[in-house]
Amino acid sequence: MENIEFYRNRNLGERLSVAGEFIRREWKILYKLILIPAIPLALVVGYFQHNFFSDYFDFIGNLYSGNGNLYGMVGFMGLFLLASLLITLVLTAISGAVMSRYEEGLLTKETTLKDLKRKIFSNMNNLFFVGLTTMFLFVLAIVVFFLIIIMPAYILPGAAAAIIGILLLFIVLFAILPPLSLVFYPALFQNASVWQSIGKGFRLGFKNWSSTFVILIIVGLITGAISLILQLPYTIFLTVQKIQHWDLDIVSYALSCLSSIGSAFVMPLSFIFLAFQYFSITEKDENISLLSKIEEFDNL
């Protein structure tokens, strides 16, 4: 069976179709490699998630009495977010390494994490620094934004200024979401530097804003539905457990871990669908496949 060509200018339907075809062909090797680190990491995420939500329910239940453990809840929330970021970093790095191996024509059923080790660590490094820089720029932009909208507060009534500020903030966040989703791909697949990756991601994202947004919505609905199905048993059980005062923490912890594994299961799906969006709009913008063919011809 002929390998799927990554860099090809496809319409929106074809991008979704080819991403689904790639997953259909390679899901066995993809999930074999992903589940090895995902399961132990999901157990850690599940532990922090369970303690956070358990403390949250206790805090809400004791809100008026003042007996809720606010510091414990905030602490476990921070650990839960850090563990979630770690598992996202690792699984995204592996997904990118698998796709790179496939593009090279070297991905087989016998491929192991050891074979991909160098690429995985390179991807983790790129993801970390691109993510850190993007976060810094995002926070800086939010600070500047709030400083700018302080001025209308001196002219408009307090409520009107607040409403305008919230609306403007929502519009800005809505506008940058599609470009933000593409900033990692140049670093992962084209060895771009941190600033090159962010710049190219934003340029292509704004240039192809509507199609990227549509893919985000479609993929978000699919992955969100899967995650919700696996999260619901834990949420329902924990709610009933707190109301009925059941001493069954081991069951709720197991369900929390199941929901974490479910979230890990859908992470590669989002990555792959957005990757084929990136490949297509990059080909349309740069004609990468044509340039590579010319280079191959020159080397003959």
Which comes out higher in pLDDT, residue 11 or 298? 11
Q: CB 254: neighbour CB atoms within 10 A?
A: 16
Task: Tell me how far apart the alpha carbons of residues 206 and 213 are, in angstroms, rounded to a whole number.
Answer: 10
Q: Is residue 33 part of a domain?
A: yes
pLDDT of residue 119: 95
Residue with tokens 């922090």: 48
Task: Tell me how far apart the alpha carbons of residues 187 and 74 are, in angstroms, rounded to a whole number.
Answer: 34
Determine the average pLDDT of the residues in 47-51: 84
Task: Tell me how far apart the alpha carbons of residues 130 and 127 are, in angstroms, rounded to a whole number.
Answer: 5
Share of the chain above pLDDT 90, in %: 44
pLDDT of residue 290: 58
Q: Is residue 7 part of a domain?
A: no
Q: Is residue 2 part of a domain?
A: no
Q: Is residue 3 part of a domain?
A: no
Q: Is the pLDDT of residue 153 over 50?
A: yes
Q: Is residue 263 part of a domain?
A: yes
- Mean per-residue pLDDT of the chain: 84
pLDDT of residue 254: 86
pTM for this predicted structure: 0.85
Q: Is residue 232 part of a domain?
A: yes
Dihedral angle sign, alpha carbons of residues 46, 51, 55, 58? positive
pLDDT of residue 242: 75
pLDDT of residue 181: 92
pLDDT of residue 297: 45
Q: Is residue 23 part of a domain?
A: yes
Task: Tell me how far apart the alpha carbons of residues 281 and 215 are, in angstroms, rounded to a whole number.
Answer: 13
Q: Is the pLDDT of residue 224 over 80?
A: yes
Q: Is the pLDDT of residue 165 over 80?
A: no
Q: Is residue 173 part of a domain?
A: yes
pLDDT of residue 78: 86
Determine the average pLDDT of the residues in 60-82: 70
Determine the average pLDDT of the residues in 241-255: 78
pLDDT of residue 298: 47
Range of the domain at 251: 16-298
Number of domains in the chain: 1
- Backbone φ and ψ for 112, nearest 5 degrees, come out as -120, 170
**Lowest-pLDDT choice from 3-7, 161-165, 238-242:** 161-165
Task: Tell me how far apart the alpha carbons of residues 109 and 123 are, in angstroms, rounded to a whole number.
Answer: 22
pLDDT of residue 271: 94
Q: Is the pLDDT of residue 11 over 50?
A: yes
